[in-house]
Amino acid sequence: MTSSTPHPADRLARAVLRTLATLPRPVQRLIGGRPLRIDGAELDTEVQLGLRLMTLAAGTTFENLPLPEGRAQIDREAWIVGAATEVGDVRDLTVDGADGPIPARLYRPHHHAGERLPLLVYFHGGGFVLGGLGAADSVSRFLCANAGVAVLSVDYRLAPEHPFPAGVNDAIAAFDHAIAHAEELGIDPTAVAVGGESAGGNLAAVVSLATTIEARTRPDRPVPCFQLLFMPVTDLSTKHRSYELFGDGLFLTEAQMDWYRDHYLTDPAQAVDPLVSPLLADDLTGLPPAYVATAGFDVLRDEGEAYAQRMREAGVAVGTRRHRGIVHGLVNATGVGHAATAALAEAAGALQLGLRSSVLATDGGNR
């Protein structure tokens, strides 16, 4: 949330959620209701409690609000559930885009002053329509502090004002800017990864795909060294089985995904473009190594896992993790309970390993 004076109701909601997250599990279960089991998995107790409270407090959901109000609601929710993990330095800047400057935010961890660090270029979620630097702040801080890397969070243009391919163009431009301005940013240009959550995971996958395709005919074309994909959108052309299982009442709904798609694409036929739906790409060989995390109770679960499997079949090194008991977007809830921080801590380890492997491959193992 960008405002320094949150609304009193938001402050209260933040305090209540943090208090409930400290209750013993039996008490959380009593408040949250009977266990919910779908497709062989049980929803985590603290997650079910949070969903029940959101349902009780819910007003009009964002897709039924005027767009500015929907965006403000998402920003408030991000502040309510997020936590400002302490890092060494945070500064706002702009990166070069084909259509003008792109706002961004650079995070650096403690005790690395003057050191050229590995970098994660991070793209926030929000269905290509919502979100921004504030919504990505808690994840960016957590990964910066716990993986010991710099994080460049990118405020790419949003639909419907800027439909596909504007966000894709901004994402590629931000990656290219990081490589070109490595010295200025204090980062190692041989160790630049991309990552994101939901729509941001889509953009990270698409940056990797687009640059890899270009590098096949232009060997000097920089390509990300690693992909960190949280619950990514990989196929807007088809509703996979997880839509049927988890399409309503579990945070991200089928109706909201339809709303996102209709705002992002100006023509339904664009859904089969691999730069919209990377799962549909003909050839995934040569992509950077990847870590793909999915949520067990998420409409996007199956397409994320299908993309991981296709990359693996193409010879790409892929680590996968289905967090069986959580819902979509929970990685942003670093201030509430343990599920988000556990998932992010595992991802931070995968990111460290991926970036370390890239540096060793570049310098022949001399570091």
Run of H or E residues at 141? helix 137-147
Is 109 exposed, middle or buried, given 0-12, 13-18 or 19+ CB atoms closer than 10 A?
buried
The answer to whether 25 and 45 have CB atoms below 8 angstroms apart is yes
Sheet containing 187-197: which strands, arranged edge to edge? 89-95, 102-108, 150-154, 117-123, 187-197, 227-230, 290-297, 318-327
Catalytic residue among 235, 298, 323, 358: 298
Active site residue 328: yes
Which residue type, as a one-letter code, is found at position 170? D
Active site residue 298: yes
Q: How far does the chain reach from its first CA to its final CA, in angstroms?
A: 39
Which residue type, as a one-letter code, is found at position 210? A
- Which DSSP letter does residue 129 get? T
Catalytic residue among 138, 153, 198, 277: 198
Active site residue 181: no
Strand partners, 290: 227, 318
What is the C-alpha separation between 250 and 339, in angstroms, rounded? 15
- Which DSSP letter does residue 23 get? S
Catalytic residue among 177, 240, 323, 328: 328
Copy the structure tokens of residue 355.
């970036």
What is the full DSSP assignment across 46-96?
HHHHHHHHHHHH--S-GGGS-HHHHHHHHHHHHHHH------SEEEEEEE-
Is 239 exposed, middle or buried, given 0-12, 13-18 or 19+ CB atoms closer than 10 A?
middle
Is 217 exposed, middle or buried, given 0-12, 13-18 or 19+ CB atoms closer than 10 A?
exposed
- Which DSSP letter does residue 288 get? P
Helix (H, G, I), strand (E, B) or coil at 180: helix
> CB under 8 Å to 301, separation ≥6 — which residues?
231, 240, 242, 246, 294, 295, 322
Q: Which residues are catalytic?
A: 198, 298, 328
